[in-house]
Chain A
């Protein structure tokens, strides 16, 4: 057992003397007996570090991690390569053991890194303003929807089912708090038909939500839909973008996005079973939008000697000042994950990010073509996908997935989970030709 307490019994006695009491328990006299817990918590006695590490290894041994098999899982969490310098740098305790930078003069490291992060998010998305991070992709999307409702004064939300189903559920949970009305649009051939947007948009519509690429890996008709939205002056376009693909794909701003959010876990953050992830949020450089933007924002300023430095700014939007009138309740965010993304983007640079995106694309298309040529399999969105695609089989997908698991292959995400046929397959730069060929070979014989 270890309790991380330094003071000895003698030192504690000295402190009690200074306070003017006899025993530690006297400090708790104001707590009524009726609510006092029993004199001990019914939790197993503490253990040493050696025992803890043994226990940890034992638990890890009951898992089968991705290191022990070939995975084509994506669907919102992505297995990309993590450069070693990320963990080395964020392990500097001046970064990871710091609090939110309330005292700017002693927190310039965190603040400057957040400013860099905001700059890189603006660069990737093409937007004018980015905040310091959101809790994850799903909650960022949800807060963007409520933000759009506040800006437009409207409550109708067009929500295509080509948006990640987990995000749709989070958006709806948040929407209940703000009395939003959701219009579910059904996609055709893995994308949403712009005619559907046209039919359902009206002057009560706050926002149209599009994912880029969408949940199935396909690219929506961004230009066409954007033009429809532009004809509705009081409706915003919210784009949920995959940031690691933005080295290849056009910035959402170029399609007229008003707000861009997404999950940036894939920028230098590991999988960690889905958390901590990194939500990002950016919007147009517009005062009205900025006032409604949730989350912390870092700005550059000068000190009394004219030297440049960084502070948390525009805090009058935030909960600790505005309380019930705040744009959001966000206090703790995902700062360390944002630092990881910043180091990742710095390391990869513009060439590296482009190369990662291209490798994802080429590898996914190599695999899809091979699978599509097999007799019992079909790639549904073969003409329109980036690095995730829908695999359709005449066989029972559950049986097929089980059989592949026995061969140490996770072929993808079973769309049965969301009531659809098919398997969502994802390929990143980490998958090798040998791994993909193995999958194809197994599919052939199963």
Chain B
């Protein structure tokens, strides 16, 4: 490997830490903990400089939004503002314990309350919980709310309908909440097939889970008809907020008659993904579902902000404390910085950038759905595959050109799919450079498919053997 493991820097007796002297007399720990004492521990013995050099070397083998374009569809990899990091590192806001008295934390609770109000305004939802720690966590919370709602009404509804273009977390979350998943096919325009929906709806339907715009970037033009159909069948409609960056200031899930939804603060509201997390997935609901939200719920009376635990109908807790507060601080800073008109401008530029890329790429790559799209779009690499290189290889070749690849082989409804979402923070030169690179790769496939099929060539490691990794798992040193 390019950089050896931290344990391989280990040298007996080497130290990277210092602690103050103990000051107090020692207890007879050995005797008192007899039978509970550890004999062996193999953590590395390294110096502070060893640690700094090693993790700096690792960071140099990585690629973040600060490195360049990150066009992962449905991931909304926009720029992560540095001022938000400063806010989230303000000692008075962060060195606080979750069980400190509320009276000592009014500054923080007010921030969270403002965030709640702003999310409610953006979505036209009535009440918000900030507890879910990721988007999928928010989906799970939403479905548990649906479940509890129907239990209260003594209605036995067991099915959740999910379109075939939905994010994989949707069916997984529905199953975790104890529902049976019914998948419905999209129509030839890439939208919900109303006949298929009508057929799937019955007295067992608990909910429809929908992303709008969907994962093809296409806005469901019959959205009001769809929500009405589900409501008429007695079900609820859930909005997957992963694609909120496409509609801020132009449409609100609440106005589309969705009953509940989740947000991804780590997508729409610019908080960094951290190489996989942490995120934050607040859930918004209409008033009639508010009693079921997780405990505790942030409230305000004349005197102060407080956590309301007296919620007899609540689904209960899903997180040890109140959710990913550090992420919420960043999202709050983002919304304060942009304001209402800034958020709308964000959406406009996200959609403009995506449509510009689509316009420039659709001649050389197949566009499976001609429908107008918003913040993201899906191309198919089918033509290139026939010419000798698959979508996977196009993705790998992009890495040679120091650019991250789009989401690939998703949504499942498109063969050789490339799902592209540039976000609003990329400038025209970066977009043009991405287009030129894609066109270059397309040309390379025609002229020298092996060059593309053997990519990547210039990364720290070349194409890795995933089959071997799964067949003979080597999961620790």
Residues on A with beta carbons closer than 8 Å to the beta carbon of B27? 361-362, 365-366
Q: In the complex, are the beta carbons of A361 and B175 less than 8 A apart?
A: no
Nearest-Cβ distance from residue B137 to partner chain A, whole angstroms:
6
- Whether a CB of chain B sits under 8 angstroms from the CB of A157 is no
Q: A30-B221, A332-B276 are in contact. Are A276 and B62 (CB under 8 A)?
A: no
Interface string of A383-394 (1 = CB under 8 A from B): 000000000000
In the complex the two chains form, what is the Cα distance from A14 to B431 in whole Å?
13
Is the Cβ of A40 less than 8 Å from the Cβ of B340? yes
Contact of B99 among A12, A73, A308 (CB under 8 A): A73
Please state if B468 and A96 are interface contacts (CB–CB under 8 Å). Answer: no
Q: Is B157 an interface residue (CB 8 A)?
A: no
Q: Is B128 interfacial (CB 8 A cutoff)? A: no
Stretch from B31-39, B195-203, B229-237, B379-387 that touches the partner:
B31-39
Known contacts A103-B405, A348-B43: does B322 contact A274 (CB below 8 Å)? yes
| Interchain nearest-CB distance for A445 vs B (Å) | 22
A351 at the interface (CB under 8 A from B): yes
Q: Is B370 an interface residue (CB 8 A)?
A: no
The verdict on A19 contacting chain B, using a C-beta distance below 8 Å, is yes
Given A1-B338, A60-B91, A314-B470, A302 and B464 contact (CB-CB distance below 8 Å): yes
Query: Which residues in A have their C-beta under 8 angstroms from that of B62?
Result: 94-95, 98, 106-110
Determine the distance from Cα of A248 to Cα of B143 in the docked complex, in whole angstroms. 42
Q: In the complex, A108 Cα to B3 Cα: how many Å?
A: 9
Bound-state Cα–Cα, A94 to B51, Å? 17
Residue from A2, A49, A263, A301 having most chain B Cβ neighbours under 10 A: A301
Contact A52 B100, CB 8 Å, known A59-B108, A108-B460, A350-B43: no
Interface assignment of B261: CB less than 8 Å from any CB of chain A: no
Q: Are A271 and B475 in contact (CB under 8 A)?
A: no
Residues A45 and B340 in contact, CB atoms below 8 Å apart? yes
Contact A106 B140 (CB under 8 A): no
Find out whether the CB atom of A43 lies under 8 angstroms from the CB atom of B118: yes
Residues of the A chain whose Cβ atoms lie less than 8 Å from the Cβ of B252: 35, 37
Residues of B within 8 A of A136 (CB): 133, 319-321
B425 contacts the other chain (CB 8 A) = yes
A332→B266 CA distance, assembly (Å): 10
Q: Which of B52, B178, B322, B355 has the most CB of A within 10 A?
A: B355
- Given contacts A60-B92, A94-B66, are A332 and B136 in contact (CB under 8 A)? yes
Contact A66 B339 (CB under 8 A): no
State the 3 A-B residue pairs at the shortest beta-carbon distance, nearest first. A274-B321, A60-B92, A336-B274
Contact A313 B275 (CB under 8 A): no
CB of A135 within 8 A of CB of B36, answer no
Q: How far is the CA of A332 from the CA of B178 in the complex (A)?
A: 21
Which of B41-63 touch A at CB < 8 Å? Answer: 41-46, 48, 51-52, 54-56, 58-63
Query: Can you list 9 A-B contacts with CB-CB less than 8 angstroms, sorted by A residue number?
Result: A2-B338, A20-B359, A41-B344, A46-B339, A60-B92, A91-B85, A98-B65, A119-B7, A309-B464
Tell me which residues across on chain A come within 8 A of B322, comparing CB atoms. 273-275
List A residues 67-94 near B (Cβ within 8 Å). Answer: 67, 71, 73, 75-77, 79, 81, 83, 85, 87-89, 91-94
B470 and A299 contact, CB distance less than 8 A = yes
Q: Chain B residues with Cβ under 8 A from A64's Cβ?
A: 100, 104-105
Cross-interface CB contact of B23 among A179, A303, A348, A432, cutoff 8 Å: A432
Any B CB within 8 A of the CB of A375: no
* CB <8 Å contact, B359 and A19: yes
How far is the CB of B176 from the nearest CB of chain A, in Å?
A: 5
Q: Is the CB of B475 within 8 A of A129?
A: yes
Count, A-B residue pairs, CB within 8 A: 700
B270: nearest chain-A partner, CB-CB: A4
Asked if A29 and B372 make an inter-chain contact with CB atoms under 8 angstroms apart, the answer reads yes
Contact code string A254-266 (vs B, CB < 8 Å = 1, else 0): 0000000001000
Complex contact B320–A85 (CB within 8 A)? no
Q: Are B178 and A178 in contact (CB under 8 A)?
A: yes
- The answer to whether A56 and B90 touch (CB under 8 A), given A301-B474, A308-B1, A323-B168, is yes
Q: List 11 additional A-B contacts (Cβ < 8 Å) besides A46-B342, A47-B337.
A: A7-B427, A63-B96, A94-B67, A105-B463, A109-B61, A173-B315, A273-B97, A299-B470, A314-B470, A329-B172, A332-B273
Q: Flag the segment in A189-197, A226-234, A290-298 that touches B.
A: A290-298
The smallest C-beta distance from B117 to any residue of chain A, in angstroms, reads 9
Q: Is the CB of B320 within 8 A of A167?
A: yes
Q: Once the chains are docked, how many angstroms separate the CA of A336 from the CA of B87?
A: 18
Instruction: Report if B395 contacts A (CB, 8 A).
Output: yes
Interface residue? A198 (CB, 8 A): no
* A349-365 interface with B by 8 A CB criterion: 349-356, 358-359, 361-363, 365
Q: How far does the alpha carbon of A36 sit from the alpha carbon of B347 in the complex, in Å?
A: 13
How many angstroms between the C-alpha atoms of A57 and B401 in the bound complex? 43
